[in-house]
Chain A
Amino acid sequence: EVQLVESGGGLVQPGGSLRLSCVASGFTFSQYEVNWVRQAPGKGLEWLSYISTGGTTIHYADSVKGRFTISRDSAKNSLLYLQMNSLRAEDTAVYYCARDRPYMDVWGKGTTVTVSS
């Protein structure tokens, strides 16, 4: 079964850091580009970041540029990461990884990040 599974979410204080992971199975992850997308409580979808197959092309939304870093593990070809620093209350959301084809055809179930003191 083709799937993505996110992990690493949790409660963090403002200004703190968190690293999210996304593990792929059922397909050759290294052959696909991937995105991170989030959804704040009761709000719509917000694209955050994109990484190409080889990791050489990366894009970020302005809202996270300079604070978040996307990466993929070249040794473990099925892993994607999102390093989140300087977290703010407005970063509270469900975070999804999504395969890019270039449309987002496979999504994980999401991991919840809560930024609160």
Chain B
Amino acid sequence: DIQMTQSPSSVSASVGDRVTITCRASQDIGSWLAWYQQKPGKAPKLLIDAGSSLQSGVPSRFSGSGSGTDFTLTISSLQPEDFATYYCQQANSFPLTFGGGTKLEIK
């Protein structure tokens, strides 16, 4: 099984800050990676697929990069609505696996 390791597990930041979350796969997954945002009590929302492809309607302050085993999600200028938990997920092979999540909190 492919293990997905996210870091940090939590981060405190302020509105306007730039934040980077990393995700590492235990083996090469090419660009088969998605990023999701989840707010308390809500279902996850797909932000980015194929490593770097922004979903329609997702603000351009979100960006994804990476391939192979190392990936990053960057939020260029945090907005109040961005405080949430973020998950990466590999879609390279079954079983599909998620990272442990990164909780983005207000400083």
Residues of A at under 8 Å CB distance from B? 35, 44-47, 50, 59-62, 96, 98, 101-105, 107-110
Q: Evaluate contact between B97 and A47: CB separation under 8 angstroms.
A: yes
Determine the distance from Cα of A98 to Cα of B55 in the docked complex, in whole angstroms.
Answer: 16
Cα of A60 to Cα of B55 in the assembled complex, Å: 27
| Alpha-carbon distance between A46 and B101 when the two chains are bound, in angstroms | 11
Q: Which residue of A lies closest to B35 (CB)?
A: A103
User: Of A44, A47, A62, A109, which contacts B96 at CB under 8 A?
Assistant: A47
- Which A residues touch B89, using CB under 8 A? 45, 47, 103-104
Q: Is A59's CB under 8 angstroms from B44's CB? A: no
Interchain CB contact under 8 A, A44 and B55? no
Q: Which of A45, A59, A62, A109 contacts B98 (CB 8 A)?
A: A45
Assuming the A-B contacts A44-B87, A45-B44, A45-B87, are A103 and B98 also in contact, with contact meaning beta carbons closer than 8 angstroms in the complex?
no
Residue of B nearest to A97 (CB): B43
Residues in B whose Cβ lies below 8 Å from that of A59: 94-95
Interface string of B12-51 (1 = CB under 8 A from A): 0000000000000000000010101010001111100110
Determine how close the nearest CB of chain A comes to the CB of B50; give it in whole angstroms: 8
- The residue on B at minimum CB distance from A62 is B95
How distant is the Cα of A44 from the Cα of B98 in the complex, in angstroms? 8
- Do residues A104 and B34 form an inter-chain contact, with CB atoms below 8 A? yes
**Chain B residues whose CB sits within 8 angstroms of the CB of A103 once the complex forms:** 34, 46, 49-50, 89, 91
Residues of A within 8 A of B44 (CB): 45, 96, 98, 104, 107
B91 touches A105 (CB 8 A): no
Residue of B nearest to A106 (CB): B46
* B95 contact from A47, A102, A108, Cβ within 8 A: A47
Q: What per-residue 1/0 map shows which CB atoms of B52-73 lie under 8 Å from chain A?
A: 0001000000000000000000
> What's the nearest-Cβ distance from chain A to residue B31, in Å?
11
